[in-house]
Chain A
Amino acid sequence: MTRSRPVFPFTALVGQREMQRGLLIAAIDPLVGGVLILGDRGTGKSTAVRALAAVLPPIRAVACAYRCEPRATAGLCERCTGKSRARPAALEVPVPVVDLPLGATEDRILGALDLERLMVSGEKVYEPGLLARANRGFLYIDEVNLLEDHLVDLLIDVAASGENRIERESLSVVHPARFVLVGSGNPEEGELRPQLLDRFGLAVEVRTPQDLDQRVDVVRRREAFERDPEAFCANHQGAEAALRAQLVAARRALDRIVFDDVLLRQAAALCQQLGTDGLRGELALMRAAKAAAALDGRRAVAREHLIEVAPMALRHRLRRDPLDETDSSARVARAIEQVLGATAP
């Protein structure tokens, strides 16, 4: 596939604030656990993910198949873990954003025996798959709600452990596979398996702008981009660079962000109020709030950050009650109002 076509700039997206913030938060702190983007067709979900890839600052990586971190001591591939300190030289590479297409085979995702090598030399060599390529980057699944169950199972295991373990075809391989999972889909076309739903740190909702001016703006930008992608991207280069710098600064600041006790307690109360199962929701909420504060260049988490990220972090974790008509976003909003005494954005 020729991927020479420039991608639509992230900063040129119109009126999709929640999705944009969610993606940036997930990019700042991979531990948040990825983003699930829910919305109708034609709302620019895939466009946003591809655009994010272009705006992310490059990473330093060893020139191995898994882009191991040069200075890390854990979570490396077999070759980089080796006693000999002679790792390949580190390079600056773009953050991988790997597409996992719906029809992908298990072999393609997990990796398999390298047929070519087998044929030529009879060597048994493991050929890394999509999970390997996504290490330290993003794994993007469009229409994730339509993904085959047996593929979902593969993903759930790997997403939980951060490594891909292969025991098949007389291969025995373990390699790191830590990635930020990004999924998108239209909930009207089928629900996500609850187990996979839970793996996503954030769930953002996206809809077509309802404002006429914004709609016109969306199409106009698209058309300008189609007409001359290079020129259009050049126009947004400044904004893209600024955002990149903002991301770098936010990542650096992340560990020092203060989360004061009062707010922490409120966050916990919010989760309790909503009855979200398990601690995962609470963790995601706190991490996301910190990342949001870092993104805004603040030193401490403020109430507004909590209010902003609570719907993203919690709406997909509410216990399912098919008899309750209110949608989950409304329930989160109500809880925010009760606990924090403020209205959600």
Chain B
Amino acid sequence: MSGPAVPRTPPAKGQTPIDPVDDALRALELFSRAPLNFGGLHLRGWHGPRRHALLGWLRRACESAARGQSAGWHALPHHTEPDQLETGTDLAESLRLGRPVARPGLLARFAGGVVVLQRAERVSPGLAARLAAALDARQIALILLDESLPDEEGPPAVLLDRLALSLDMRDESPWRSLDALAELARAPRGAARRLAAVRPVAPAPSGERGLLELCRAAMLFGIDSMRRVEQASMLARMSAAEARRAPAAGEAAGEAASDTLEPRDSDLALAIRQVLLPRARVMPMMAESDEAPAPEQPEPPAQPDPPDSPDSPSEPDPPETPSDPGPQHAESPADPTDPDPTSLPDGASERLVEAALSALPPGLLAMIASQIGARAAAARGAGSGRESAKGRGRARSVGARRGRPRGQERVHLLATLRAALPWQRLRQASTQRADAAGAGPRAPASRPAARQPVRFHPDDLHVHRERKRRGSTTVFVVDASGSTALQRLAEAKGAVELLLADCYVRRDRVALVSFRGAGAELLLPPTRSLVAARRALTALPGGGGSPIAAGFELAARVAAQLDRSGDDVTVVVLTDGRANLSRDGLPGRERAADEARRVARELAPLATHRVLIDTSVRPEPAAQALAVALAARYVPMPFARARAIRDSIAAATR
């Protein structure tokens, strides 16, 4: 899975490549017609004029599509308390009026609208879970504004999985070159206004062929979630439905007649590019190229290519759906579907996928391909990172305790009220008595009791009992270079596995950085999943040079990030200390060793505990020197004694 793959097919077969921005906007336009159908949009990128312009445009598109009805466009801060979403008691109002006042839940207010969640990468799992439920019930559509850094956790997977569209604006170059957004900022595109007449609720189910193609395409991309296919099919059907409705296509009868909607190749291609491609875990061309050469290139169906432009609405419909594909229809259509998914029988899907991709500028595809590895790694750890959001670093309220707020403590309104309420009668009676005695400056005694504000005593005060959990994460930095690999990699793995088991028991997180050959790699982002950790470790390849400096540099980045989120970091380095590659990839022991020691000194302050395990056969001075630079406990691994190493590390970090 190394090295970006570029499709075999040359990018242009006499057609102008599709502009990625246009393509994305086309999908967003369809989104604006019926946002609820799509779940929503995951928008990566910094706050700035371009994102602002895009959102402004999208909002106007939604509004013009909603015609008459209010489109509903709501902002939701990421720190919203989950309870706010549901109907409850308005505490402040209730206190003011002295009687319970209901507060409508936010979801009821948002129903049917688009909810924009700022800083979605910071959202708590609780809020995410409620929003996910709302998405499942098709109550709202969600736009996640994600400003996470490349090596940070993104928004919760539970939400991402439910959003059909994903747009990455972090690389602004395509957007800039086009300057499309300046134009957008002025007015919604003409098409948006023209086609906004009807707001389709749910387009007809997809025909047999479209589903088959999309299912296959998803498999080619290594996408397992069935939601993605559903989402892709939704986009394709919306696109097809709109083309039908467009005046040029003309026949209103056709729509009413058939129960299913057969998307055209161009619709499917759009769905592949906009829904499946951004979530690809494998690049199909890559997987396929080392298998048998694609068997039948020239195939009977005569539309192998996407249309010249995805915007052309008057695309002639492909041969109409074979009447009504009933449930038993699966086996009957042209292809005898092979039950084995790995060998897709006819080249149809590959061709469609290829066509869909080849329309994109080649550079873009190479970039996406290169991101896939990183994304796969992130996916391995990302979800696990979720649980870190349980409140790692940030203080988390775990109830209330009696007491006056001190320092940063917050008053727990609910608990305070609960403490005060049972006493109200007594207190009111006593103030009334006081009033009667003429001492009270308070309200006249004639005021009805129910209208009186709640009376608090200092004793009632409760504050949030917060538990600031400093999580603990162990970052393993494993030297997988040739010199280590030959001797001790297997043993080192054994030691790491034992440590993993300890981490599991303590519910610590682990991360795995390895370096060899050209550079370092974050094999496993911080996770609590034993499964993921073990898998990453098993798959750890060995061989090549020893770029220790690069490894430490990456470890320092990971540690710094963990430190920011309030974790205690333990760094465990397994190496023989014989650096022979410097950061710029040049060989040379002297310089490499120098550099390694320098980076080690940078890494040292970022970790609470540091351990260096010398993996060479007999204690190696270079490793010892490195341990000194790292201010780490030095543990030689003279004999294969995984357990002994584990114990000495346990001692070192205690």
Contact = CB atoms under 8 A, between A and B. Distances in A.
B338 interface: yes
A275 interface: no
Interface string B89-130: 100001000111000000100000000000000001111111
Given A44-B226, A211-B341, A320-B501, A99 B133 contact: yes
A46 interface: yes
Contact of A101 (B100, B130, B501, B532): B130
Contacts of B454: 119
Contacts of A191: 504, 528-531
Contacts of B129: 101-103, 142-143
Interface string A211-224: 11101111110111
A216 to B, nearest CB: 5
Interface in A78-123: 99, 101-108, 112-113, 115-116, 118-120, 122
Contacts of A142: 129
Interface core residue of A101, A106, A146, A227 (most chain B CB under 10 Å):
A146
Nearest to A119: B100
B435 interface: no
Contact of A103 (B126, B216, B532): B126
B414 interface: yes
B528 A190 contact: yes
Given A143-B129, A322-B534, A124 B228 contact: no
A169 interface: yes
A189 B529 contact: yes
Interface stretch (A20-28, A35-43, A243-251): A35-43
Interface in B397-422: 398-399, 414-415, 417-419, 421-422
Given A102-B126, A115-B89, A325 B421 contact: no
Contacts, number: 197
Given A119-B421, A188-B529, A223-B233, A42 B126 contact: no
Contact of A220 (B205, B331, B383, B507): B205
Interface residues of A, number: 64
A146 B212 contact: no
Nearest to B218: A215
Interface core residue of B139, B205, B226 (most chain A CB under 10 Å):
B226
A113 B414 CA distance: 10
Contacts of A41: 157-158, 161, 225, 227
A39 to B, nearest CB: 10
B35 to A, nearest CB: 15
Contacts of A113: 418
Nearest to A113: B418
B137 A42 contact: no
A5 B414 CA distance: 33
A143 B418 contact: no
B498 A323 contact: yes
Given A101-B129, A118-B422, A42 B337 contact: no
Contact of A115 (B86, B327, B414, B497): B414
A230 interface: no
Given A143-B125, A208-B225, A169 B418 contact: yes
A226 to B, nearest CB: 5
B332 to A, nearest CB: 11
A195 B527 CA distance: 20
A189 to B, nearest CB: 3
Contact of A146 (B82, B125, B339): B125
Interface in B223-255: 224-230, 233
B383 A215 contact: no
Given A1-B86, A190-B387, A322-B500, A103 B225 contact: no
A115 B99 CA distance: 10
B419 to A, nearest CB: 8
Contacts of B198: none
Interface residues of B, number: 88
A213 B233 contact: no
A150 B398 contact: yes
Contact of B531 (A122, A187, A227): A187
A105 B464 CA distance: 13
Contacts of A211: 339, 341
A72 B83 CA distance: 36
B98 A119 contact: yes
Nearest to A323: B497
B226 A148 contact: no
A103 B126 CA distance: 3
Given A40-B224, A208-B225, A211-B341, A103 B130 contact: yes
Contacts of B157: 41, 189
A73 interface: no
Give the secondary structure class of B's interface. Answer: helix
Contacts of A188: 380, 383-384, 529, 531-532
A186 interface: yes
B211 A220 contact: yes
Contacts of B206: 219-220, 223
A172 interface: no
B543 interface: no
A193 B505 CA distance: 9
Contacts of B390: 146, 148
Nearest to A150: B398
B585 interface: no
Interface core residue of A186, A208, A322 (most chain B CB under 10 Å):
A322
Interface in B314-345: 327, 330-331, 337-339, 341
A101 B226 CA distance: 23
Contact of B204 (A108, A190, A227): A227
Nearest to B228: A42
Nearest to B98: A119
B432 to A, nearest CB: 15
Contact of A122 (B341, B417, B421): B421
B233 A115 contact: no
B219 interface: yes
A226 B331 CA distance: 23
Contacts of A216: 208, 211-212, 215, 330
A150 B414 CA distance: 20
Interface core residue of A5, A41, A193, A325 (most chain B CB under 10 Å):
A41
B538 interface: yes
Given A105-B83, A188-B380, A322-B501, A122 B424 contact: yes
A187 B129 CA distance: 17
B425 interface: yes
A220 B218 CA distance: 15
A101 B205 CA distance: 32
Contacts of B434: none
Given A119-B454, A322-B498, 11 more contacts: A5-B137, A40-B225, A102-B128, A103-B82, A104-B82, A112-B418, A115-B418, A188-B532, A190-B387, A218-B226, A223-B233
Interface of B: 82-83, 86, 89, 94, 98-100, 107, 124-130, 133-134, 136-139, 157-158, 161, 202-206, 208, 211-212, 214-216, 218-219, 224-230, 233, 327, 330-331, 337-339, 341, 380, 383-384, 386-387, 390-391, 398-399, 414-415, 417-419, 421-422, 424-425, 450, 454, 494, 497-498, 500-501, 504, 507, 527-532, 534, 538
8 contacts: A118-B418, A146-B387, A188-B531, A191-B531, A208-B224, A208-B226, A219-B226, A226-B202
Interface of A: 1-3, 5, 40-44, 46, 99, 101-108, 112-113, 115-116, 118-120, 122, 124, 142-143, 145-146, 148, 150, 169-170, 186-191, 193, 207-208, 210-213, 215-220, 222-224, 226-227, 320, 322-323, 325
- A-B pairs, 8 with minimum CB distance: A103-B126, A42-B225, A189-B383, A223-B205, A322-B501, A118-B421, A103-B82, A42-B227
